[in-house]
């Protein structure tokens, strides 16, 4: 019972940070691993549990959703395609291979917080943005943690987008992208549903508040939190799968 309460509390934290900025599932993934789940089950449970945070974060700007969807529908479809391919890959790649990749994927997710997008409105900007969005979708379907940061890094290259609209677009794109891969995960038989429910409840609460507080949280605070957890978990996983 204590484990479920811990996951619920982590879900609130993750949902709040994801609603405000993104990438906080880097925190919940190692916590799920620590309960004894396999890396694949933890990745699937994590994805199913934290997705609602992105949709609940949109409640604060729900009256603008139709306009945002029309503006970003092409990128959403591209990201969804990548996500479906990534989800199928996760379920077909041998578990041993995934275990060896997880420390590197989590390290990449953590390092993505150090990415500083340089505004670019060159002739190839649209093509680069679509390739980047497909890559983020593929990453979402195969692993997931840190995808929100990657999406923001891709979108921020357009200097016309202000921070608030970037965050809203990120929540919309990540929400739809995760929803498609989650449909595939549901039928995999590898989700730990009690933990999914605890994460969903926590992330939904946190995401609702996160969407309202999106412009108030100091960037340095959430970056420091996620970097410390992400790097610490990466070291633990390298020790577990390579030096244990």
pLDDT, one tens digit per residue, over 53-79 is 777 778 778 888 899 999 999 999 999
Comparing 222 with 94, the larger pLDDT belongs to: 94
Q: Counting every residue, how long is the chain?
A: 244
Query: pTM above the 0.75 mark?
Result: yes
pLDDT of the residue at 226: 67
Angle, alpha carbons 106-208-63 (nearest 5°): 115
Q: What is the pLDDT of residues 146-159, one digit of tens each?
A: 788 788 878 877 76
Helix (H) or strand (E) holding 164: helix 163-186
Residue 136 confidence (pLDDT): 92
pLDDT of residue 155: 84
- What's residue 212's pLDDT? 61
108 burial (CB, 10 Å; 0-12 / 13-18 / 19+) is middle
> Does residue 192 have a pLDDT over 60?
yes
**CB 78 within 8 Å of CB 134:** yes
Domain count, the chain: 1
The pLDDT of residue 47? 93
| pLDDT at 32 (0 to 100) | 94
On whether the CB atoms of residues 53 and 90 are closer than 8 A, the answer is: no
pLDDT in tens, 1-33: 789 999 999 999 888 877 666 677 888 998 999
Torsion of CA 84, 194, 226, 78, to 10 degrees: 10
Q: What's the pLDDT at 28?
A: 92
Mean pLDDT of 187-215: 84
Spatial distance between the Cα atoms of 87 and 90, rounded to a whole number of angstroms: 5
Nearest to 150 by CA among 106, 105, 115, 104: 115
Question: Considering just the CA atoms, what is the radius of gyration of the chain in Å?
Answer: 17
**Domain housing 42:** 2-243
């Amino acid at each position: 019972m204590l484990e479920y309460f811990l996951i619920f509390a982590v879900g609130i934290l993750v949902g709040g940070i994801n609603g405000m900025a993104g990438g906080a599932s880097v925190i919940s993934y190692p916590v799920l691993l620590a309960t004894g789940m396999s890396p694949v089950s933890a990745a699937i449970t994590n994805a199913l549990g934290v997705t609602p945070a992105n949709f609940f974060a949109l409640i604060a700007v729900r009256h603008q959703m139709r306009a945002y969807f029309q503006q970003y529908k092409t990128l959403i479809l591209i990201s969804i395609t990548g996500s479906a391919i990534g989800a199928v890959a996760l379920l077909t790649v041998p578990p041993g291979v995934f275990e060896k990749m997880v420390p590197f994927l989590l390290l990449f997710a953590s390092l993505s917080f150090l990415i500083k997008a340089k505004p670019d409105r060159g002739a190839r900007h649209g093509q680069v943005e679509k390739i980047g969005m497909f890559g983020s979708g593929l990453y979402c379907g195969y692993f997931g943690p840190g995808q929100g940061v990657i999406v923001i890094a891709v979108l921020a290259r357009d200097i016309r987008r202000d921070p608030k609209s970037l965050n809203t677009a990120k929540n919309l794109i990540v929400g739809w992208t995760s929803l498609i891969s989650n449909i595939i995960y549901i039928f995999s038989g590898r989700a730990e549903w009690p933990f999914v429910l605890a994460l969903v409840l926590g992330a939904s609460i946190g995401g609702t508040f996160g969407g309202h507080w999106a412009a108030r949280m100091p960037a340095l605070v959430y970056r420091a939190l996620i970097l410390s957890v992400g790097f610490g978990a990466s070291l633990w996983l390298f020790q577990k799968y390579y030096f244990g």
